[in-house]
Structure 1
Amino acid sequence: MNNEDEFYDAVTGLDSDESCEGTSEASFKDAIVFDCHQKNNGTPPQENGIKKHRTTLPAPMFSRNDFSIWGILKKCIGLELSKITMPIVFNEPLSFLQRITEYMEHTYLIHKACSLSDSIDRMQAVAAFTVSAVASQWDRTGKPFNPLLGETFELIRWECSGFRLISEQVSHHPPISAFYAECLTGDFVFHGSIYPKLKFWGKSVEAEPRGTITLELLKHKEAYTWTNPFCCVHNVILGKLWIEQYGTVEIVNHSTGDKCVLNFKPCGMFGKELHKVEGYIQDKSKKKRCVIYGKWTECMWSVDPQVYEVNRKTEKKGAADTKKQKQEESAGAENDEADDMPEVQETVAVIPGSTLLWRVSSRPAHSAQMYNFTSFAITLNELEPGMEAILAPTDCRFRPDIRAMENGNMEVASREKERLEEKQRAARKERAKEEQEWSTRWFQLGTNPYTGSQDWIYTGGYFDRKYTDCPDIY
């Protein structure tokens, strides 16, 4: 296997509560404000020959019980996982380009933001979208396939979501994936480049987020930027895999000066903070306008800052009486074999007067047999008749190793993965011999106009369907 194969975006999860308390206290009736079915006389337009998206994969997930990751990672403690060979058994049948497309699962929140007249209300919807973008990582124990240099993925969703997206693997070392999505009605564009840095710490893998994410609401002439939180995968050697998202995420509205600060809380000693997200929105004068709270695995709410503070003081008073007892019960309790996942997972305690901003979509009943995919993720690699004539030849759907794995043929998948890696290495050596640099097709390195940082900018033209100069990577 390729010793230059990157192991990145390794995310897994744990069981989460199925519902939130107090849902009757607030409503979000207008959450989904964009309905493409209202156009074309009630019939959603078709794209890529898809009339109805699939609800299951061709074959169920295989068992990983007979495989150990320790032999691969034991020499990598404290190092960046940039050139680690990973057997295909630890993959899921999606490319990382498809994985980042899952940011778009809750696109209705962007449409919601576009429909609102108040900038603080728009920031609330954008904050909810930011949290929702990482929700699909819950319980995903497989790593996506590393995209080949030049690999692409397109997704067009006319029905309800109303967007189209193109992504490209623009760099192999370091691995960088660039994406660009636009609303089909011209309301927004959403783009960025992702290149997480991973380190192995003995029992866990930590992913440091790198790359700027930008959302532009064209109607309001606003641009928002942020970076994803850290994530940590526990028990990669022994025990039940589970994930934390933690760190501070700052969403900046570069047009109004409004800012949202979200704190993805680490688990903590007793697991009380597991999955929790708390933050606030402030205006350009730094006045706190609202508090946002919830869990990235469940739901997010908004409440008045004064109401939040009164509720917080009441909670602290009650918690003080039990803190000492919990410390005594856990004193001396250590686990050198695995980082035990907290047993108690409380649902979000909703503060009276709160407004629901977002709730995670339910996963299909058979999700556990389908790599814990969401309904959205299950559809990403489907290839219907007629799509071959429309998609670029570099599209992820044409990768034979991912296709074989999806169909349950692990032997063919492993063999094809190795063949593609060898082909990629041979192409790189040939370029070096000819003193040629790799040329990206749909993105170019430039500067983010809002942050001033280096970014990969979409150059346009993909949806003109002119693919004659695409590289042969499969």
Structure 2
Amino acid sequence: MVNQRDNDRTAVLTAPLSLDGELQVDYRAPNLLQRILGLLRNVRSGSDLTNFQLPPLFNIPKSQLQCFGESVYSTREDVLRRCCRAESPLERLTSVVAWSISAMRPLIFGVAPYNPILGETHHVSRGNLNVLLEQVSHHPPVSALHATDDREELEVIWCQHPVPRFYGTSVETEVHGKRQLKLLALGETYVMNAPKLLIRFLPVPGVDWVGNVRITCQETGLGAELCYRAPSLIGRNRRSIKGKIIDLSSLKTLYEVDGHWDSTVTAKDVRNGEQKVIYNAAETISGLKTPQVKDSGGVLWSESAVVWSEVSRGILSKDWDKARETKKSIEEEQRELKRERDSRGETWIPKHFTVSCNKENGWDCTPIQKSVPSAPIHVPFD
């Protein structure tokens, strides 16, 4: 839960993670690999790192909640609109595949976003697309996302529960939770999962998305199976993706998908061998614009860019003492608020989502509102 005493701080917004993001980062501390291995020296292999706290030296100046939202609202091309406007079910499924790939952003080795605090929110608009996120659980960490575009009649509902584990020379994060894209005018719902995040320390440091993604649409009977492949020790297959678009009833392959998710991805029609580019990363996730506050009075006290504003200022100015003390203060305040709730026997209830969890289906986050309102923070168009 966010304390309302923090509402005197102003929002600090930074450029989204993008294809050229690593070139723009100049606030990283030196000797990161040595520092990281030092932090993990006493951590056992296989340990869950969910509650592992990083000092600001290893943080980028934004919350994980913001990074999660950026994957939906920060694109140069309107890939979501393309999903709605494609004429045939097969073209729409192909567009959904491209959109799902666009959510995978190149990450920066050695640094990570802040772990969101309970009740933290992030509310941003890009044109008619309004996106609202809320941290609905802290232990375990669960983030919920709801996005709507009333003009295009589309809705996105995501529930994200990352579970990072340490394996000696790497950290592997499984991203649990269902992702849904609903094309309301067509009555179609596309359900998908997320790949894993792999952070390697040795022999060559790096960050990659790896693993299998399955996309299904029961209404059209079409689906896709994608595999994000880990690079070899000599760097081959870096950021590569292979897969297929299939007829779910017959399991017949209709298109073969191949390429690199940080450059171009193609789909080849197996009937005639014709090939087309379905995703171009340079056109979609490069040169992304930083969100801007359009209505300072409408920014919630729980907004990520407000909650972490002083920590972000410390990181951006490389004032590590300020960043460390401010971050420590926020974390200690959250622990105190939890103790107060526990003493009163209270259970935290999210403001914007109804949340449930069971062993079979995991976490499920249902938006309380039918439509997300326009936000006080906007992404400018090119």
The CA distance in 2 between the partners of 1:464 and 1:293, in whole Å, is: 37
Distance 1:442 1:409, change over 3 A: same
1:443 maps to a residue whose letter is F
1:397 corresponds, among 285, 292, 305, to 305
The residue matched to 1:437 in structure 2 has which SS?
coil
1:356 corresponds, among 274, 277, 300, to 277
Matching of residue 457 in structure 1 with residue 366 in structure 2: yes
| Residues 442 and 462 in structure 1, CA contact (< 8 A), matched pair in contact too | no
The CA distance in 2 between the partners of 1:264 and 1:247, in whole Å, is: 5
Total equivalences in the alignment:
349
1:182 maps to a residue whose letter is T
* Aligned-residue offset at 1:296: 1.4
* Aligned-residue offset at 1:187: 2.3
Equivalent residue, structure 2, for 1:122? 92
The CA distance in 2 between the partners of 1:440 and 1:244, in whole Å, is: 32
* Superposed CA offset, 1:135-154 (max 9, x none): x2344542001111000001
| Residues 59 and 408 in structure 1, CA contact (< 8 A), matched pair in contact too | no
* Superposed CA offset, 1:254-279 (max 9, x none): 21121101111222355432221111
Q: How does 1:5-404 map to 2 (within 5 A)?
A: 60-65=26-31, 68-76=35-43, 77-104=45-72, 105-106=74-75, 108-134=78-104, 136-139=105-108, 141-158=110-127, 162-235=128-201, 241-268=205-232, 270-283=234-247, 284-306=249-271, 353-361=274-282, 375-376=287-288, 379-380=290-291, 382=292, 384=293, 387-399=295-307, 400-404=310-314
Question: Which is higher, the Rg of structure 1 or of structure 2?
Answer: 1
The CA distance in 2 between the partners of 1:233 and 1:58, in whole Å, is: 20
Distance 1:102 1:430, change over 3 A: same
1:421 corresponds, among 321, 331, 341, to 331
| Residues 162 and 176 in structure 2, CA contact (< 8 A), matched pair in contact too | yes
TM-score (norm 1): 0.67
2:42 maps to a residue whose letter is K
The CA distance in 2 between the partners of 1:58 and 1:123, in whole Å, is: 34
The CA distance in 2 between the partners of 1:139 and 1:242, in whole Å, is: 8
Unaligned runs of 5+ in 1: 1-52, 309-352, 364-372, 466-474
Distance 1:276 1:409, change over 3 A: same
Distance 1:290 1:173, change over 3 A: same
Structure number with the higher strand fraction is 2
The CA distance in 1 between the partners of 2:362 and 2:164, in whole Å, is: 21
Distance 1:387 1:413, change over 3 A: farther
Distance 1:109 1:63, change over 3 A: same
Distance 1:306 1:191, change over 3 A: same
* Aligned-residue offset at 1:119: 0.6
Distance 1:307 1:388, change over 3 A: same
* Superposed CA offset, 1:340-395 (max 9, x none): xxxxxxxxxxxxx42111111379xxxxxxxxx9643x614x5x4x6330111100
| Residues 442 and 459 in structure 1, CA contact (< 8 A), matched pair in contact too | yes
* % same residue: 24
The CA distance in 2 between the partners of 1:205 and 1:453, in whole Å, is: 22
Distance 1:165 1:153, change over 3 A: same
Following superposition, which runs of at least 4 residues in structure 1 exceed 6 angstroms of deviation?
A: 53-59
* Aligned-residue offset at 1:91: 0.5
* Aligned-residue offset at 1:230: 1.4
* Aligned-residue offset at 1:54: 7.5
The CA distance in 2 between the partners of 1:296 and 1:405, in whole Å, is: 30
The CA distance in 2 between the partners of 1:462 and 1:117, in whole Å, is: 26
* Aligned-residue offset at 1:240: 5.1
Distance 1:459 1:414, change over 3 A: same
Distance 1:454 1:203, change over 3 A: closer
The residue matched to 2:211 in structure 1 has which SS?
strand
The residue matched to 1:260 in structure 2 has which SS?
strand
2:63 maps to a residue whose letter is S
* Superposed CA offset, 1:440-461 (max 9, x none): 111111489xx97641111128
The residue matched to 1:413 in structure 2 has which SS?
helix
The CA distance in 2 between the partners of 1:415 and 1:180, in whole Å, is: 33
TM-score (norm 2): 0.83
The CA distance in 2 between the partners of 1:71 and 1:436, in whole Å, is: 39
RMSD between aligned residues: 3.0
1:433 corresponds, among 334, 343, 348, to 343
The residue matched to 1:431 in structure 2 has which SS?
helix
| Residues 93 and 402 in structure 1, CA contact (< 8 A), matched pair in contact too | yes
